[in-house]
Structure 1
Amino acid sequence: MESLKIALVSDWFFPSVGGIEYHIHDLATRLTSLGHDVHVITRFGDYPDENLPYEVHRFKGRITMESSHVSIGAGVLKRVNELYKREHFDVTHGHSIYSPLALGVANLSAGIRGVPSVVTGHSLLGDSILNPVYITILRFSLRKVSSFIAVSDAVEKDMRSILGKSLGNRGIYLIPNGIDTEFWKPPEDKEERKEAIGLRGVVVTTTSRLTKRKRIHVIPEIARRIKEEHGDGVTFVIIGDGPERSNIEQLIKEYDVGDIVKLLGRQPRERVREYLQATDIYLSPTIYEAFGIAALEALSCGVPVVANNHGGISEIVKHESTGLVSHNDQGLMQNLMALITNEEMREKMGRNARKSVENHFNWETLVLQVLDIYRTTMEQADDKPFTLYKLHQKIKKEIANVSLFNL
């Protein structure tokens, strides 16, 4: 297979952590292991990039929004353009249609440098009175993208709705997020793992950014109701940080569940794995989940998932096989209670969960699908540059010709 020079682009990359950041890292690592020359283009940040098996290029814009991990400005694209002149990439792969850097570089790549671009949709638009404005901006910003990848059916549907007729004959390909099944794997002995990290009873874990959209604030009330039924025989673990942390801490006090709810904040990946390996049930209360990479990590560790049947998470959690899905919080509570009281069901679903991940979400298979899309895009992409860029080049040529004649 011919080696490709690939640019992976997003505002969201290390040192910030999340589903997109680890997706880019895992994809870059596997593409590199297959012999491809991978470069990650991202915002500035303090991280030991020299330890990564691929090259990282960081750019700082005039405007930086630290809370969103975004740095923008025309100067960034000017410097990225110089990088493209120097590196001669074969294909550009942007991550998230909501990443200003990904969209800017995808347009520069296809509209100026003649390098086909692919953009993966990782998120759902959600509900907002500003959606008509967002959609107009997105359609304009995505006009030069050669093709798209969606991580779930829910994201694909959302992207088709956003793009409308502007999609034209460009393809949207469905490829779910992959996972390292050698890293995220069940423990040899769950009870030993629990004891080693100081947990007891039935352990219910959630890993998430603490934002209103993720709805982690409902967990303290759920814990109170579980405590009324089971006393202190169930432990809730919440891993993650974000703007809702202080609100959640207050709710834990208000519902008097500090003895059974552990709010651990952000944890390194290895530590998250330790907690998942000590977990009996993974709880996902969100209703706006584009895919659910955190739930996938739990499934890979042999943990059944209890979730709301909304967005992409219901596509990876199979009801009554690898977990239980509901249509509302009442059903979520009932399903959680059912698994807490049925150890045999938990263990059976945990085994099914691990098999499902090995069969459908392993990177070894998915990275080859991504490469197929790169090659298809390179063969079919519209190589017409922006009209203004063509005019710019024509004027430059005319000036050069006049100068030569004067010599």
Structure 2
Amino acid sequence: MESLKIALASDWFFPSVGGIEYHVHDLATHLTAIGHEVHVITRFGAYPDEKLPYDVHRFKGRITINSLHVSIGTDMLKKVNELYKKEHFDMTHGHSIYSPTAVGVSNLSSGIRRVPSMITNHSFLGNSMLNPAYIAVLRLSLRKVNSFIAVSEAVERDLRSILGKSLRGRPIYTIPNGIDTEFWRPAEDKEETKSELGYKGVVVTTTSRLTKRKRVHIIPKIARTIREDYGDNITFLIIGDGPERKNIEEAIKKYRVNDMVKLLGKQPRENIKKYLQASDIYLSPTIYEAFGLAALEALACGVPVVANNHGGISEIVNHNSSGLLSQNDYELLQNLRKLIEDEELREKMGKEARRSVEKRFTWDKIVWDILTVYKETMNLTPMQPFALYKLYQTLKRGIANASVFNL
């Protein structure tokens, strides 16, 4: 495939840290490594961009919401438009239909600059009384995007429901997130790693943003039940931060499991990897997961996953092979018990977990799947420019030069 000049656009990029941020970085890095020129278009922020193997362009719009890490405005898009005039991109790839920058740049790309655009949707819409109005805005704002990627079949169904008839035959491709299997890998000696961190017995780990939707608050209650059955030889590690942290701390006190439930807060990637390498089981209590990148990281580290059989996480965990899927919280607890009791089964599932990731989710595979979608999108019938832009171009050229009277 010939070299492409690709723009990746999203509000969510370094210095903020999360699943989309690392996805954009990893995709940009791997595209660059195989000979493509990548430019990331994102919001303002202090970060050593010069150390990255690709170009980063940061813009600040008039409307900025720091708590959500978003920034947008017509002044910002004017500057992005100048960038497009200068760089002559072949493809624009936005990340998240809920990112103002991703949506704004994608619309500018295909609706003004005539550069094909697509957006990867990484998450569910969620439940809100404002959904009807929000969906109407999404349908309007996404009308110039040429194609879409969903990170799971569950997200694809959600996206089709959101767009409805406004999809107008535009393709949605399902491509999962990729993972760096050189970084996320099993420890050479799990017990040694566990000892270095000061733990013993069975270690059960959860990495998550602490929100109500993630349901991490049920872990202290689960821990109390587990203690009644197995004593104190179990440690639960919760890695992450968020608005529910205080409630989780109170639940730990309420169920008197301070000694066995460790709330570790937000951790850098290197630390998360080490905690996973020391873990025997990964526990995911959420029932509303778009993909499950944290669970994928655990699988890559050779850790079997116990999760609910809902959303995208059920598409990456093979039941009775790389983990155990549950229909409700009672089954979740029973499956957790099953793995706690059976060390041989944990080891068998851990090995299969690693194999499944190497087979399906490596960036070496995912990056070529995405490139195939780029080519297919570039071969689609180009979107018509925005009507106002066509009018502006007509007036700019002059009525005579536009051949208005030569019908």
> Aligning the two structures, in what range does the TM-score lie when normalised by the shorter sequence?
over 0.9
| Match of residue 355 from structure 1 | 355
Cα shift readout 1:21-76 (whole Å, capped 9, x = no counterpart)? 11111100000001100011111111111111111111112222222111222211
Q: Residue in 2 aligned with 1:19?
A: 19
* CA drift at 1:244: 1.2
For structure 1, which runs of at least 5 residues remain unmatched after alignment?
403-407
Aligned position for 2:135: 135
Question: Who is 1:250 aligned against?
Answer: 250
Paired residues of 1:276 and 1:301 also in contact (CA < 8 A): yes
CA distance in structure 2 between the partners assigned to 1:358 and 1:43 by the alignment? 33
1:93 deviation in Å? 0.2
Query: Residue 155 of structure 1 corresponds to which residue in structure 2?
Result: 155
How far apart, CA to CA, are the structure 2 residues paired with 1:243 and 1:134?
24
Whole-angstrom CA distance in 1 between matches of 2:43 and 2:386: 25
C-alpha displacement of 1:396: 1.1
Matched residue of 2:238: which SS? strand
Provide the secondary structure at the position in 2 that maps to 1:42.
strand
Encode CA deviations 1:73-120: one digit per residue, 9 max, x unaligned: 221111111111111110000001111110111100000010000100
Residue in structure 2 matched with residue 204 of structure 1 by the alignment = 204
> Cα offset for 1:355?
0.5
Opposite residue 122 of structure 2, the aligned amino acid is H
- Aligned with 1:312: secondary structure? helix
Q: Is residue 179 of structure 1 aligned with residue 160 of structure 2? A: no
What does residue 35 of structure 2 align with? Answer: 35
Deviations 1:301-332 (A, max 9, x none): 00000001110000001111110111111111
Separation (CA, whole Å) in 1 of partners of 2:6 and 2:244: 37
Give the direction of change, closer, same or farther, for the CA distance of 1:130–1:279 in structure 2 (3 Å limit): same
Q: Is the 8 A contact 1:116 1:381 kept in 2?
A: no
CA–CA distance in structure 1, aligned partners of residues 28 and 13 of structure 2: 12
What TM-score do you get using the length of structure 2 for normalisation? 0.97
Q: Distance in 1 between matches of 2:257 and 2:110?
A: 54
| Structure 1 residue aligned with 2:295 | 295
> Considering only aligned residues, what root-mean-square deviation do their CA atoms show, in Å?
1.3
Which deviations, in whole Å up to 9, do the C-alpha atoms of 1:188-209 show, x marking residues without a partner?
Answer: 1100000011111100001111
Supply the AA of the counterpart residue of 2:335: N
AA of the residue aligned to 2:376: T
Letter in 2 for 1:378: M
Partner of 1:325: 325
Q: Displacement of 1:399 after TM fit?
A: 7.9
CA distance in structure 2 between the partners assigned to 1:288 and 1:242 by the alignment: 17
Alignment of 1:63-212 (within 5 A): 63-212=63-212
Residue 339 of structure 1: CA displacement? 0.7
Paired position in structure 1 for 2:405 = none
Provide the residue aligned with 1:218 in structure 2. Answer: 218
2:92 aligns to what SS in structure 1?
strand
Structure 2: gaps (5+ residues): 403-407
**How far off its partner does 1:150 sit?**
0.8
Paired residue for 1:50? 50
Q: What SS does structure 2 have at the residue aligned with 1:203? A: strand
Rounded to whole Å, the distance in 2 between the matches of 1:306 and 1:204 is: 10
The aligned counterpart of 1:315 is 315
Contact 1:118 1:147 (C-alpha < 8 Å) held by counterparts: yes
Aligned 8 A contact 1:9 1:40 in 2 = yes
Show the counterpart of 2:259.
259
Distance 2:108 2:38 in 1: 18
Shift in Å at residue 382 of structure 1? 2.1
Encode CA deviations 1:324-356: one digit per residue, 9 max, x unaligned: 111111111111111111111111110110000
Report if the CA contact (8 A) 2:178-2:366 is conserved.
yes
Contact persistence 2:202–2:235 (CA under 8 A)? yes
Separation in structure 1 between the aligned mates of residue 177 and residue 233 of structure 2, nearest angstrom: 34
| 1:339 aligned onto 2:335 | no
Q: Could you report, residue by residue, the CA deviation over 1:353-406 in whole angstroms, capped at 9, with x for unpaired residues? A: 00000001111011011111111111114242111100011111118979xxxx
Aligned length, in residue pairs: 402
Task: Work out the CA distance in 2 between the residues paired with 1:75 and 1:4.
Answer: 28
| Aligned residues of 1:143 and 1:166 also touching (Cα < 8 A) | yes
Q: Is the 2:94–2:119 contact (alpha carbons within 8 Å) kept by the matching residues of 1? A: yes
SS at match of 1:380: coil
Indicate if the aligned counterparts of 2:144 and 2:383 stay in contact, CA closer than 8 A: no
- Change in CA separation of 1:255 and 1:400 when aligned onto 2, cut-off 3 Å: farther
Q: Distance in 1 between matches of 2:259 and 2:69?
A: 34
Partner of 1:272: 272
d(CA) in 1 for partners of 2:117, 2:262: 44
